[in-house]
A and B are shown apart, each in its own frame.
Chain A
């Protein structure tokens, strides 16, 4: 039986995975909006807008859940993180505000408008900055560069996130979100083969970029995130996870090459999940490496019990509602894990769904 504080930390990690997969894909879609090129640029942008419009606000709530679990379940950790990483968190928030506001401004303004293009730029640029900052925050927590003495941060306001390693992780996060978004968009464009090819190419290119960034992060982690590296090299759980990640990554590329988009999406989600599980497990026992241990920062049992109870009861409403939302806007294809009968058949069932 895992302890209460471990369960709370695990639920927080699961919420973060939810945010990375769903919210991350929305940010990644913004990156592809920024990079929309060629004769299909306008149609690419429209497909992106239609794909995320009804769901981005719901996807965004996963982040709220992470924060709420952090400050309810681990109040001293929340205080320490928000103090030490005040600057990148603030920049990330500005990005979140601008992304959300400019997206809805653009969606509701006249389609043929110069102003609308300007909102489109704001949307695309803030979709790019936010994941980078999220990555630097993750790196700041992992690197051990945050120092706390007697409840005060002694490591300054920039050292722990303004550096090569944090920005390598920031770049990794950005590319990861772009990668998953491109794969989601191949499914969104079922029935529009030209756009589907565009996003397939983007998915493959970002897969290569992702590999490069992953290598860079691993190389840098020897000097910059020793705890994580030690854990990743020496723990019993690490090899199944790493092999799982590798299989998922290679499988995704293979599925993209053979145009099995549903399978690619399933494997890419697994890949992101494995990456974050590996990160989360290698953070253990810390929430902030070297300084904040989750079992020491945990709130009293009664708080954790009530919070986990509320989360469990809330899930009974949440998951059916989420299912309903995706079912309405994405059709049955939202839940197709892989399509043995060939991808094209699924394409034709999609439209008749609605």
Chain B
């Protein structure tokens, strides 16, 4: 394994691990404040229990997200020092703001998780909103920095170095809007479907549970709304990429030859040697329509991109197909549920629908991972698009397989431990009252 490959693998693995916990950390607080808000309005204890159960799971997942996020901020320098040297002064702005958003999130999460009996109800609910808001903002700030790598702006390039820098322009780079929009919606979408799936499985075991019905209701409400708007945000992204990163678009669509009225290839296996795609379904004019909203528009193919500036087509194309396929599946299932609800005014409990929801549980996160493969691998061979190559940004430290393997083992173990703990403590009926009140209760005892 070359050091470059080890560094890329470590970064990919760390990001792929963190993004799951980060997405949950962004989305769960919203579900919790919705449940808590319903409790405050209706006085129904089931909503209160729901908010507390969710809070318990979130506490575990947020901690893993916080520490794995810390690892990433260091890894920027541990693995890509030349990249950070080049761009630190440009992209530090969103990272500084993210630092404060994260601070606010951690503070109010502490109040939310441990303050049930220590602050008033309204203050507690307010803390939940602060967590939801600052968590979303901190995700947005980090993605803004990533967007800059796709659309580096805010400087003049003189002898390969940035001068006259403008960190505000770098932060509000042209890719920032569509990337942050797409990722933020994805976080809510993936989490909502996963939560709905877990509670659906539990509802099937215990069909009379009002608790699980309410949980599914809240999760699906968030899931359906985000599933419907996500394809729209995807369209914004696709058109942006078509215009500004033609190499990435050509790779993700496996579009080999520049053509007018280009067909859209759905699925299929790209063959990079013969430069063809086998087994795909072709929709005439589809790609021109999607990329430029004009059936006859010319779409740049890989033939226009110098060979040493082409991303790996197979991975990017397949990842893109997976992401889009899942996106439409979730939208379909979501609309099905919405339609059922509209007809009967109650939560759909048809077994087929329940199975569909359970099948969708992990899919949102698969789509999130696939989406990051599309944007990161699709940017290759650049770390800063058309400015700095990934191979020129890697650290001079040798034997990078050692940290790569170490962090992989660490994260695999943590994943197993987290899943097992969540299963034991949150999914299977916990002795809620004792365990949730435990910390604060004992503390007051101790002081009494």
Q: Which residues in A have some Cβ–Cβ distance to B below 8 Å?
A: 46-47, 49-50, 53-55, 57-58, 60-61, 63-65, 67-69, 71-76, 78-83, 86, 89-90, 93-94, 96-101, 103-105, 107-111, 152-153, 157, 190-192, 299-300, 302-303, 306-307, 310-311, 314, 317-318, 321-322, 324-325, 328-329, 350-351, 354
Roughly how many angstroms separate A99 CA and B167 CA in the complex, as a whole number? 35
Interface residues of B in 56-107 (CB under 8 A from A): 56, 59-60, 62-64, 66-68, 70-71, 73-74, 76-78, 81-82, 84-90, 92-93, 95-100, 102-104, 106-107
Whether A90 and B406, one on each chain, are in contact in the complex, defined by CB atoms closer than 8 angstroms, is: yes
Contacts of B418 in A (CB 8 A): 101, 105
Roughly how many angstroms separate A90 CA and B402 CA in the complex, as a whole number? 10
Whether A328 and B111, one on each chain, are in contact in the complex, defined by CB atoms closer than 8 angstroms, is: yes
Roughly how many angstroms separate A305 CA and B88 CA in the complex, as a whole number? 14
Whether a CB of chain A sits under 8 angstroms from the CB of B396 is yes
Task: Give the interface segment out of B241-249, B289-297, B437-445.
Answer: B437-445
Whether B77 and A82, one on each chain, are in contact in the complex, defined by CB atoms closer than 8 angstroms, is: yes
**Distance (whole angstroms) from the CB of A47 to the closest CB of chain B:** 7
Whether A354 and B444, one on each chain, are in contact in the complex, defined by CB atoms closer than 8 angstroms, is: yes
Residue from the list B86, B97, B407, B417 in contact with A310, Cβ < 8 A: B97
Contacts of A317 in B (CB 8 A): 100, 104
Which of B77, B395, B414 has the largest number of chain A CB atoms within 10 A? B77
User: Across the two chains, which residue of chain B brings its CB closest to A323?
Assistant: B107
Roughly how many angstroms separate A93 CA and B395 CA in the complex, as a whole number? 18
Roughly how many angstroms separate A46 CA and B63 CA in the complex, as a whole number? 19
Whether A90 and B78, one on each chain, are in contact in the complex, defined by CB atoms closer than 8 angstroms, is: yes
Are A307 and B93 also in contact (CB < 8 A) when A54-B114, A86-B397 are? Answer: yes
Whether A100 and B63, one on each chain, are in contact in the complex, defined by CB atoms closer than 8 angstroms, is: yes
Roughly how many angstroms separate A219 CA and B71 CA in the complex, as a whole number? 34
Whether a CB of chain A sits under 8 angstroms from the CB of B113 is yes
Whether a CB of chain A sits under 8 angstroms from the CB of B235 is no
Whether A63 and B70, one on each chain, are in contact in the complex, defined by CB atoms closer than 8 angstroms, is: yes
Interface 0/1 of B403-440, CB less than 8 Å to A = 10011001000100110010011000000000100110
Instruction: Give 7 nearest A-B pairs by CB, closest first.
Output: A72-B92, A75-B88, A82-B77, A299-B89, A79-B81, A314-B100, A104-B63
Are A72 and B96 also in contact (CB < 8 A) when A105-B421, A108-B59, A109-B425 are? Answer: yes
Which of B78, B397, B447 has the largest number of chain A CB atoms within 10 A? B447
Contacts of A73 in B (CB 8 A): 89, 92
Whether A321 and B74, one on each chain, are in contact in the complex, defined by CB atoms closer than 8 angstroms, is: no
Q: Which residues in B have some Cβ–Cβ distance to A below 8 Å?
A: 56, 59-60, 62-64, 66-68, 70-71, 73-74, 76-78, 81-82, 84-90, 92-93, 95-100, 102-104, 106-111, 113-115, 118-119, 165-168, 395-398, 403, 406-407, 410, 414, 417-418, 421, 424-425, 435, 438-439, 442-444, 446-448
Contacts of B403 in A (CB 8 A): 86, 90
Contacts of A108 in B (CB 8 A): 56, 59-60, 421, 425, 435
CB contacts between A and B, total, < 8 Å: 227
Residue from the list B93, B421, B438 in contact with A111, Cβ < 8 A: B438
Roughly how many angstroms separate A297 CA and B266 CA in the complex, as a whole number? 50
Residue from the list A191, A310, A329, A354 in contact with B114, Cβ < 8 A: A329
Roughly how many angstroms separate A154 CA and B113 CA in the complex, as a whole number? 48
Given known contacts A86-B397, A104-B60, A306-B93, what 10 new A-B pairs fall within 8 Å (CB)? A68-B92, A68-B99, A73-B92, A75-B92, A97-B67, A108-B59, A318-B100, A318-B103, A329-B115, A354-B444
Residue from the list A97, A310, A321 in contact with B96, Cβ < 8 A: A310
Roughly how many angstroms separate A315 CA and B355 CA in the complex, as a whole number? 49
Whether A299 and B59, one on each chain, are in contact in the complex, defined by CB atoms closer than 8 angstroms, is: no
User: Across the two chains, which residue of chain B brings its CB closest to A100?
Assistant: B67
Contacts of B168 in A (CB 8 A): 306
**Distance (whole angstroms) from the CB of A288 to the closest CB of chain B:** 13
**Distance (whole angstroms) from the CB of B445 to the closest CB of chain A:** 10
Whether B110 and A325, one on each chain, are in contact in the complex, defined by CB atoms closer than 8 angstroms, is: yes
Contacts of A46 in B (CB 8 A): 442, 446
30 of the cross-chain contacts (CB-CB < 8 Å) are A46-B446, A47-B446, A54-B110, A55-B110, A61-B106, A64-B99, A65-B99, A67-B74, A69-B96, A75-B88, A82-B74, A82-B78, A82-B84, A89-B74, A90-B403, A90-B406, A97-B67, A97-B68, A103-B63, A104-B60, A104-B64, A299-B92, A300-B89, A302-B165, A306-B168, A307-B92, A310-B93, A317-B104, A322-B107, A328-B118
Which of B103, B397, B443 has the largest number of chain A CB atoms within 10 A? B103
Whether A54 and B115, one on each chain, are in contact in the complex, defined by CB atoms closer than 8 angstroms, is: yes
**Distance (whole angstroms) from the CB of A232 to the closest CB of chain B:** 29
Whether B167 and A303, one on each chain, are in contact in the complex, defined by CB atoms closer than 8 angstroms, is: yes
Whether B73 and A57, one on each chain, are in contact in the complex, defined by CB atoms closer than 8 angstroms, is: no
Identify whether the interface residues of B are mostly helix, strand, loop, or mixed: helix
Roughly how many angstroms separate A93 CA and B71 CA in the complex, as a whole number? 6
**Distance (whole angstroms) from the CB of B206 to the closest CB of chain A:** 22
Contacts of B81 in A (CB 8 A): 78-80, 82-83
Roughly how many angstroms separate A82 CA and B82 CA in the complex, as a whole number? 11
Whether A72 and B104, one on each chain, are in contact in the complex, defined by CB atoms closer than 8 angstroms, is: no
Contacts of A314 in B (CB 8 A): 96-97, 99-100, 103
Which of B90, B168, B397 has the largest number of chain A CB atoms within 10 A? B397
User: Across the two chains, which residue of chain B brings its CB closest to A72?
Assistant: B92
Are A105 and B60 also in contact (CB < 8 A) when A58-B110, A325-B107 are? Answer: yes
Which of A90, A111, A153 has the largest number of chain B CB atoms within 10 A? A90
Whether A96 and B70, one on each chain, are in contact in the complex, defined by CB atoms closer than 8 angstroms, is: yes
Whether A57 and B108, one on each chain, are in contact in the complex, defined by CB atoms closer than 8 angstroms, is: no
Contacts of B59 in A (CB 8 A): 104, 107-108
Whether A321 and B107, one on each chain, are in contact in the complex, defined by CB atoms closer than 8 angstroms, is: yes
Residue from the list B63, B92, B104, B417 in contact with A303, Cβ < 8 A: B92
User: Across the two chains, which residue of chain A brings its CB closest to B395?
Assistant: A83
Whether B118 and A72, one on each chain, are in contact in the complex, defined by CB atoms closer than 8 angstroms, is: no
User: Across the two chains, which residue of chain A brings its CB closest to B166?
Assistant: A302
Whether A307 and B99, one on each chain, are in contact in the complex, defined by CB atoms closer than 8 angstroms, is: no
Residue from the list B93, B100, B106, B417 in contact with A101, Cβ < 8 A: B417
Whether B77 and A101, one on each chain, are in contact in the complex, defined by CB atoms closer than 8 angstroms, is: no
Roughly how many angstroms separate A74 CA and B90 CA in the complex, as a whole number? 11
Contacts of B425 in A (CB 8 A): 108-109
Whether A300 and B165, one on each chain, are in contact in the complex, defined by CB atoms closer than 8 angstroms, is: yes
**Distance (whole angstroms) from the CB of B396 to the closest CB of chain A:** 6
Whether B100 and A57, one on each chain, are in contact in the complex, defined by CB atoms closer than 8 angstroms, is: no
Roughly how many angstroms separate A26 CA and B90 CA in the complex, as a whole number? 34
Whether A54 and B113, one on each chain, are in contact in the complex, defined by CB atoms closer than 8 angstroms, is: yes
**Distance (whole angstroms) from the CB of A318 to the closest CB of chain B:** 6
Contacts of A69 in B (CB 8 A): 96
Whether A71 and B88, one on each chain, are in contact in the complex, defined by CB atoms closer than 8 angstroms, is: yes
Roughly how many angstroms separate A165 CA and B108 CA in the complex, as a whole number? 40
Contacts of B115 in A (CB 8 A): 54, 328-329
Are A58 and B106 also in contact (CB < 8 A) when A82-B74, A93-B74, A109-B421 are? Answer: yes
Contacts of B446 in A (CB 8 A): 46-47, 50, 191-192
Roughly how many angstroms separate A317 CA and B111 CA in the complex, as a whole number? 15
Roughly how many angstroms separate A75 CA and B168 CA in the complex, as a whole number? 17
Whether B118 and A354, one on each chain, are in contact in the complex, defined by CB atoms closer than 8 angstroms, is: yes
Contacts of A101 in B (CB 8 A): 63-64, 67, 414, 417-418
**Distance (whole angstroms) from the CB of A338 to the closest CB of chain B:** 21
